[in-house]
Structure 1
């Protein structure tokens, strides 16, 4: 249990900007084990995003509440995954060889592909979450009728539950790349996590990622199928272009899968 607590502590420290106190005892293996709890970090980030959205809706329009929620996640994670997405866009958009792709992704400067990708990604997430408020309004008939399959969930918490689920399942999809792809470089920010995720740890990670779906009506679980397609396509691209994944690839996969979940759920409501 002490080992797992240190692993969870390492996951929160690595993937967020939350100032946790340092532990008296730390091992290099703690960071390797921490990948199991990547979806649990998604619970934390998603809970903050959902709380900000719910509170913001009390005083602002859905669009402003959605923007505040998005800003909260950027502050909480230090735009860690968004930075990876931008680097991936630059590398895969501007590089024609594996070596050039890797060189561009290592460059800390943002290029045209990265800037355009970020604008589109953040804009779509912002508007998709804002649109959920109208689409998920209970009692308006049509597709929204019978929206809640979870009796303990108050009606006003459907959208927060969707936000929480999106952050968890998207991180599960990203971390699943550790189970199927090799690490593509000798060094890098994801190198400490590059041990293959297998067996019980993979099962625990996937269960943590899927658990928030229990809050949602069954028809919205089709969002998981959409994430599976997006994850499969991205894994194919990563293997084809650079022979595996990097930390930027993990961040990009999380961002794309989160957006895909929002868009799919929005279409189903």
Structure 2
């Protein structure tokens, strides 16, 4: 499957979401509302953790809820330790409470000086600390990095259990990073009206809304599984048979946990 969407922050200013919702449905052939990944904020620049909210987050979230645009969230990382990442992620969990998010909550790690120099192991530990904190809060946690950052500045094997949102402005996706979301353009490749030539565009390969609803994540209540009807009797209709055949059929059915009544016809 391929669903197309966008990611936005305060850099896009006040968005006309009525128009944008219509545009997202248009680029998805009218069969899907698409999606939007909203920046909730960024961690404190001192690196010790704490969330600073994006100036347009609440407006963007309210509009997505109003116009039926399925949303996810991302927050930018300045954290310089796993402990700091946990603090930031805990504040994100509090910020998101009371809302439903059909797409994952992403920890965005990029080319800050610290993360370029601290080594793969430390970057991976920071990312895992944030994602595990989000998961403990009932959220579907994932990580955003560029393809280069994933390959050269993280230990991909250490992140194997988490979904990835990969940024790579190339003609085709690759299998180097196994991703659920691919950010393939920052130049409004989807042609969404109202954004000119500056808009991040993404394609999603997974049915995240169904995952959230089924598993009760991101503010959703877990979908109740329909109870299977319990058999009370197993009836076999057959022609004349010997007593031995009757006993064999009865034994096989009872072995399956199905009570049997043999009736003479």
Both structures adopt the same fold (TM-score exceeding 0.5) = no
Q: TM-score, normalised by structure 1?
A: 0.24
Q: Which has the higher contact order (CA 8 A, sep 6+)?
A: 1
In the superposition, the TM-score normalised over structure 2's length comes to 0.24
Larger radius of gyration: 2
Structure with a larger share of its residues in helix = 1
